[in-house]
Chain A
Amino acid sequence: MMEPIAIGFVGIAALILFAGLGVPIAFSITLVGAVGMAVVTDVEFVLVTFQSLPYATASEYAFAVIPMFVLMGAIASSAGIIGELYTAVNRWLENVRGGLYIATAVASAGFAAISGSTVVNAAMFTRIALPEMLALGYHKGISAGCIAAAGTFAALIPPSLTFVIFGILTGESIGELFIAGIVPGVLTAAFYVVVIPIMLKIRPDWAPQLEVHSTFAQKLRGMTGIWPMLLLVFIVLGGIYTGITPPTAAGALGACGALLIALGRRKIGPGQIWESVRQTAELTSVLFIIIIGGLLFSRFLVVSGFVADLTVLVTDSGFTPATFILVMVLMYLVMGMFIDPLSMLVMTVPFVYPVIKSLGMDPIWFAIILTKMIEIAVITPPVGLNLFAVVSAARGQVRTGEMFTGILPFVAMEVVILGILIAFPILSTWLPDTMH
């Protein structure tokens, strides 16, 4: 019989092979997990696990947070909140050099508080912001890069689907993870707001200086369309922070509230409601079977003895938490160049999380670091989902090559922010600690 470590690595290698051959990640991870469990235990164990685990996972009330927040984002998106948010922010920044870059960052952070999807953020802002940027003579690659990078804020600012999936796979509190993402998310957006003007001082050719003057009344009028949705976000996140509403109920409240606001303002019709619900249903199914597969794979790694042996191996080999984090950063950055973030999450969390715990690291802090690495992964060529989302939504206005070079300053910014978050764990842990 092989050593547990060897069995685990064979399982991981088989998973990478199947996924690399184009087999959807949900099927790859489930089938490898099932065969692995049959090998290390017996067939009966696999049969019983398949009989109980899918229902147990899909009937967990806390996990209903996924469709609720997806629905909230889809409705807000259909109701045109992004356009209004972008215009409102832009009016205040129109005289600043590179104001559209900053407006994109701020508005994207605002929309991230409603939507949990980085790709949706990037694609939607491409349609709204990119034409205006290009018409005003902004640099093509930097414009596309800014939109792709700002789209990633959705991974960190709650309600983030990355946190929900991490919470489900590890058992960490989804509410605490949401709240933990607020400071790093706002910090990231603030970093963009500060660094973009500095960047444009060095390269003024990347954005023109515009002379447009909206009156104060016009600026205020621009805000009228967005405050109901922002109020809703405040109520939803406030409810989670204070513990008045659990994340699932807050999500339901958010979805119904978004629909009522959109209906009240005549911004949504039956067709858009159906489209929002259809997207939510499809996405919920896709996410849940990946999660179920991830849990099965995780169970295989546990029953094979791989997790226990790996934990002992890492602690015995003298890895300090700092060294381990460094190894993780390198691993995720390299993986992120080739593998999509969701796959990366379900493939690695089952064995990385126990090691993190055994090294005495704060799992909430690690979730923030992991999410930041995922943010970087989705904007790192050659496989950066947000890059493709922008190029695809730009409909020929930006070429892939321009995108790949335009994203580089933002990747550099993200790496600096990652360093800050690693160096100062309190930025991630302070707010959730105040919940207790």
Chain B
Amino acid sequence: MRFFRFLDAAIIWLGTASLAIAAVFIGLLAIIGTADSLGTQLFGLPVASALELSQAGLVIVVFMGLAYAQRRRGHVTVDIFTQHLRGTAHAAFTALALIAAMAFFGFLAWRTGVAALESYQIDERSWGLTRFPIWPSKIALTVGCVIALLESIRQFVHLCLGNPDAYETSTIEDEEVV
């Protein structure tokens, strides 16, 4: 039992740590974009490899935040039919959503993992003056998917153990943006 508690805590920690990495890269994206824009317009001095850095940074932001969004059940859901369900029916639909999440993250982790491995093996780099390495961001993409998969499995195990509220929920302001 202690081992499972350790696993549970470790997955939560991984989700938070990957979110922190995403947060750092959001800051970097803003700083690089600003510096490049001001540097180019005011001094004719763009930031070297700003485009490649931003591309890599965006991939990390998108996929490193996935596990945290999954933990907070932040994904957009049409819940008009399921929101009033209680008990077993509610658990059944939650299980269906989690199975879909595991299939989604598992499949994505597998295929992007294959792409990341190939990219690493050939030392894939961008075209241009600076041959910026692409494989680290491809690996980060797969790692983000794997952590999100682990989080979905953690939630599913909790649900099976009759503890469906063992994960956070997001507020209404966080859920919808459009």
Nearest opposing residue in chain B for A345, CB measure:
B178
Q: What is the size category of the interface that chain A forms with chain B?
A: 35 or more
Q: Which of A236-288 contact B (CB under 8 A)?
A: 244-245, 248-253, 255-257, 259, 274, 277-288
Q: A67 within 8 Å of B by Cβ? A: yes
When chains A and B are docked, how far (Å) is the Cα of A255 from the Cα of B32?
12
Let me know if B30 and A284 touch, CB within 8 A.
no
Let me know if A60 and B55 touch, CB within 8 A.
yes
Let me know if A252 and B175 touch, CB within 8 A.
no
Q: A22 within 8 Å of B by Cβ? A: yes
Let me know if A255 and B104 touch, CB within 8 A.
no
1/0 per residue, CB under 8 A from B, across A59-78: the answer is 11101100110110000000
Nearest opposing residue in chain B for A339, CB measure:
B78
Q: B165 within 8 Å of A by Cβ? A: no
**Interface core residue of A55, A383, A393 (most chain B CB under 10 Å):** A55
When chains A and B are docked, how far (Å) is the Cα of A99 from the Cα of B126?
57
In-complex Cβ contact of A18 among B100, B107, B172 (8 A):
B100
Q: A407 within 8 Å of B by Cβ? A: no
The 7 closest A-B pairs by CB, nearest first: A252-B33, A285-B65, A24-B75, A22-B82, A50-B111, A281-B65, A249-B37
Q: List 26 A-B contacts (CB under 8 A).
A: A23-B77, A23-B100, A25-B77, A27-B97, A27-B103, A50-B112, A51-B111, A55-B137, A59-B55, A59-B59, A67-B29, A119-B177, A248-B54, A252-B37, A274-B23, A277-B26, A278-B23, A282-B72, A284-B22, A284-B65, A287-B177, A288-B62, A339-B80, A378-B178, A383-B80, A393-B172
Interface residues of B, count at CB 8 A: 65
In-complex Cβ contact of B19 among A165, A253, A282, A378 (8 A):
A282
What's the nearest-Cβ distance from chain B to residue A341, in Å?
5
Nearest opposing residue in chain B for A390, CB measure:
B172
Let me know if B22 and A64 touch, CB within 8 A.
no
Q: A52 within 8 Å of B by Cβ? A: yes
Let me know if B22 and A281 touch, CB within 8 A.
yes
Q: A116 within 8 Å of B by Cβ? A: yes
Q: A289 within 8 Å of B by Cβ? A: yes
Let me know if A54 and B34 touch, CB within 8 A.
no
Q: Which of A385-402 contact B (CB under 8 A)?
A: 385, 388-389, 392-393
